[in-house]
Structure formats: C-alpha cells, structure tokens
C-alpha cells in the first residue's frame, strides 16, 4: 500500500511543477493559450492521482493519471522553452525544443494509457525522451545570463527581463535593443544621470514597469517605463518602449 503510493505522490509533485509553469505562462501573451490548455490535463491528472491513492486496485485510474500528467508535462515543457531567454542567434532552438517535448509528452501518454507491448511506440518514447532530456541538460548553458549580449565583436552590457509585449525573457543590450522573438524595440540606458537632468514634459508616461536586477548592484526591483533610479545604489536608468517613437534621445548606438 505505502510503496504503491510513491508513484502517485511523485505524479502530484510533477503536476504541481507544471501548474507553476502554467501560472507563469498565463502572464505572457505568447503562451497564454498553451497554458490554459495545459491546465486541463493537469487538473484531470491531479484528480486521477488522488483517486488512485484511495483506490489503488483501480489500475485504469493510475494509467489515466500518468497519461494526462505526461500531456500536461509536455505542454509545460512547451511553455518553458517558449519563454526562456535565448541569445538572438540561438532563438531557432525553440522551434526544435518546443515540439520535441510536446511530442514526447504525447507519446509517453499513449505508452501509459495502452498496456500492450508496442516496440514502435517504445522506441519513439525512448528517442524523444532522450532528446528532450538533452535539451533540458543543455538549457542552463545556452540560456545562462552572461550579463552582456554580442553585437558583432563587441560585448554590450545587458539586463534580463520579460518582453513587455510578448512575455519572452530577453537579454536587453544597453542602447536600442530588440526582442529576440517579437521584435519589439526597447530603449534602455544606464547610468542615465546626464539624461535625467533634462526634465521632459513628455515624462508623463503610463505606469508600466518591468522587474530585473540592477545592472550595477544586482538588487532586483521594478523599473518604471521612463526614468528611474535604483533604490539601493542610486544608479539612474532610463527605459522606454513603444511610447517614444523616433525619439531624438539616443545615447546608445543603434545596433542590430
């Protein structure tokens, strides 16, 4: 009885992790739909796992729970790989990694649901599973925050936060930077002491903010669109997107 509960408890832990990913995904425009879809198998799986704990003799409950957990995990993988920060040159990896994990989830789900021996299906599950695992193992290296982005041969200091338009996490290089995925242009510059001396009547901007670590002292805080300063070290930073079209205030060099 006790040992029979272990897979169900692990399954519930997995579902909880998926739900956390979906909650994050709901806040980003590009993964909102995928996250809503993902909550359905996650909910079904949670119910079926609970049922399988109380009635371990019902084999179908465990099968159904594991099957829907695999679908939910595949979708959570898709959400995660859609939002993770990737260098501009490596964005194509999403097109490989997102479907890969979702197919793995689908085939693993079939494997759980149908108890017959099926060598073809098993092969699919093993191959897709090991490729998905490789993607996850490579992720910390590919997606690590190096504190700069490459622009030709130069290293431009960068800060990482979610794109205000599509929600993908992006390393924004100092100056004029574009979202790696939706192309939103954003203007970010620090230290902005000189810029902020000029008071701008246009500074009445709508209250929008993004959260990232201060490029100088590393304290995470909310930075408003417009001019602001770090509460910890006083670094002045200026940040604009969409609002100032064709702005004349271009202290950073434009880059692509």
Q: Looking at 188, 210, 235, 239, which residue binds Zn ion (CB under 5 A)? A: 235
Task: Sort 220 into a burial class: Cβ within 10 Å, 0-12 / 13-18 / 19+.
Answer: exposed
The distance of closest approach from Cβ of residue 66 to Zn ion in the complex, given in angstroms and rounded to an integer, is 35
Q: Looking at 179, 188, 192, 239, which residue binds Zn ion (CB under 5 A)? A: 179
Which of 217, 254 has the CB closer to Zn ion? 217
Cα–Cα dist 58/62, whole Å: 7
Cα–Cα dist 58/124, whole Å: 28
The distance of closest approach from Cβ of residue 183 to Zn ion in the complex, given in angstroms and rounded to an integer, is 7
The distance of closest approach from Cβ of residue 40 to Zn ion in the complex, given in angstroms and rounded to an integer, is 26
Q: Identify residues 43-72 at the interface with Zn ion (CB under 5 A).
A: none
Q: Looking at 63, 160, 165, 249, which residue binds Zn ion (CB under 5 A)? A: 165
Tokens, residue 213:
């670590």
Q: Looking at 232, 243, 250, 253, which residue binds Zn ion (CB under 5 A)? A: 232
**28 is a site residue for Zn ion (CB under 5 A):** no
**216 is a site residue for Zn ion (CB under 5 A):** yes
Here's the x/- map for Zn ion, 86-125, by CB under 5 A: it reads as ----------------------------------------
Task: Mention every residue, 6+ apart, whose C-beta is less than 8 A from residue 62.
Answer: 7, 8, 48, 49, 52, 56
**17 is a site residue for Zn ion (CB under 5 A):** no
Question: Taking a C-beta distance cutoff of 8 angstroms, is the pair 187, 244 a contact?
Answer: yes
**Contact range with Zn ion by CB under 5 A, out of 40-48, 62-70, 108-116, 165-173:** 165-173
The distance of closest approach from Cβ of residue 205 to Zn ion in the complex, given in angstroms and rounded to an integer, is 19
The distance of closest approach from Cβ of residue 30 to Zn ion in the complex, given in angstroms and rounded to an integer, is 8
**40 is a site residue for Zn ion (CB under 5 A):** no
Here's the x/- map for Zn ion, 182-211, by CB under 5 A: it reads as x-x---------------------------
CA angle, corner 130, sides to 125 and 136, nearest 5? 125
Backbone angles phi, psi at 177, to 5 degrees: -130, 150
The distance of closest approach from Cβ of residue 163 to Zn ion in the complex, given in angstroms and rounded to an integer, is 3
**233 is a site residue for Zn ion (CB under 5 A):** yes
Cα–Cα dist 147/156, whole Å: 9
Q: Binding residues for Zn ion, per CB under 5 A?
A: 163, 165-166, 179, 182, 184, 214, 216-217, 230, 232-233, 235
């Amino acid at each position: 009885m006790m040992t029979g509960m272990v897979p169900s408890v692990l399954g519930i832990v997995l579902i909880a992790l998926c739900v956390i990913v979906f909650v994050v995904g709901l806040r980003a425009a590009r993964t909102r739909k995928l996250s809503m879809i993902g909550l359905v198998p996650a909910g079904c799986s949670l119910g079926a796992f609970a049922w399988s704990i109380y009635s371990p003799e019902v084999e179908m409950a465990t099968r159904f729970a594991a099957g829907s957990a695999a679908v939910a995990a595949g979708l959570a993988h898709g959400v995660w790989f859609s939002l993770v920060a990737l260098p501009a040159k490596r964005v194509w990896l999403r097109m490989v990694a997102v479907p890969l994990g979702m197919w793995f989830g689908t085939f693993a789900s079939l494997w759980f649901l149908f108890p017959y021996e099926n060598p073809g299906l098993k092969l699919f599950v093993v191959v897709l599973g090991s490729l998905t695992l490789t993607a996850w193992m490579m992720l910390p290296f590919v997606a690590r925050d190096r504190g700069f982005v490459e622009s030709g041969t130069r290293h431009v200091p960068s800060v990482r936060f979610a794109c205000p338009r599509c929600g993908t996490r992006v390393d924004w290089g100092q100056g004029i930077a574009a979202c790696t995925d939706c192309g939103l242009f954003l203007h970010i510059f620090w230290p902005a002491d000189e810029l902020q001396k000029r008071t701008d009547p246009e500074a009445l901007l709508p209250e929008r903010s993004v959260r990232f670590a201060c490029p100088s002292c590393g304290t995470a805080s909310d930075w408003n669109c417009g001019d602001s300063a770090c509460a910890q070290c006083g670094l002045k930073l200026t940040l604009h997107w969409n609002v100032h079209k064709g702005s004349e205030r271009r202290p950073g060099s434009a880059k692509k």
